Homo-oligomer: A and B are copies of this chain.
Amino acid sequence: MGGLYAGRVPKLWTETVDAHRAAVREAILDTAAALVAEQGLTAVTMSRIAERAGIGRATLYKYFPDVEAILVAWHERHVADHLRRLTEIRDQAGAPGGRLDAALEFYAFIAHNRGRHNPDISALLHHGEQMVHAQRQLLDVTASLLAEAAAAGEVRDDIEPAELAAYCLHALGAASGLPSQAAVRRLVKVTTAGLRPSR
């Protein structure tokens, strides 16, 4: 015997299984998020997630031990997506000031959407170690944008970029309580006004 695959991992097969598992995992996260948005946090159970995702309960439990674990994973994916997008904005071509404005507006709308859709979840999840790490990365990306804009004379240079980054992210957090997209844009305007080089 021995055969074709003897002595090595059947790579193609492994990749297919991995891709399948990843797809099921994504579907579980999307389903849980949709259910929370529709019915609220407390109404979501493992049974309902399994049913809506079209998988068995036993299968669901192979992926996640409970609803909270799903919501944590969903939130982490969310944050990772945002960080990726912010990093892309930072790495674009163009004037530093323009990229900074785009990044701050993007972040403000994240905060705005979070406030409207999932206040309970963010309160539940914001204290984990993963979240602290993500928050740190978010501050770093923002600080690097601010440093570039300051070097180009478009942002004040009398205060360290790290401190300005903390100011920006906190100020834009107010977007979570604002009633409209127009109000979010006004918030971005006020926040960036604070960043202008002092006369």
Contact = CB atoms under 8 A, between A and B. Distances in A.
Contact of A194 (B127, B171, B177): B171
A166 B178 contact: yes
Q: Chain A at the B interface: mostly helix, strand, loop or mixed?
A: helix
Identical chains in the assembly: 2
Interface residues of A, number: 28
Contact of A163 (B163, B172, B173, B178): B178
Contacts of A195: 190, 193-194
A170 interface: yes
User: Which of A189, A193, A194 gathers the greatest number of chain B CB atoms within 10 Å?
Assistant: A194
A193 B187 contact: no
A34 to B, nearest CB: 25
Given A123-B127, A163-B183, A174-B166, A191 B194 contact: yes
A9 B156 CA distance: 67
A14 interface: no
Interface of A: 123, 127, 156, 159, 163-164, 166-167, 169-174, 177-178, 183, 186-187, 189-196, 198
Question: Nearest 4 pairs between A and B by C-beta?
Answer: A194-B194, A171-B171, A170-B174, A166-B174
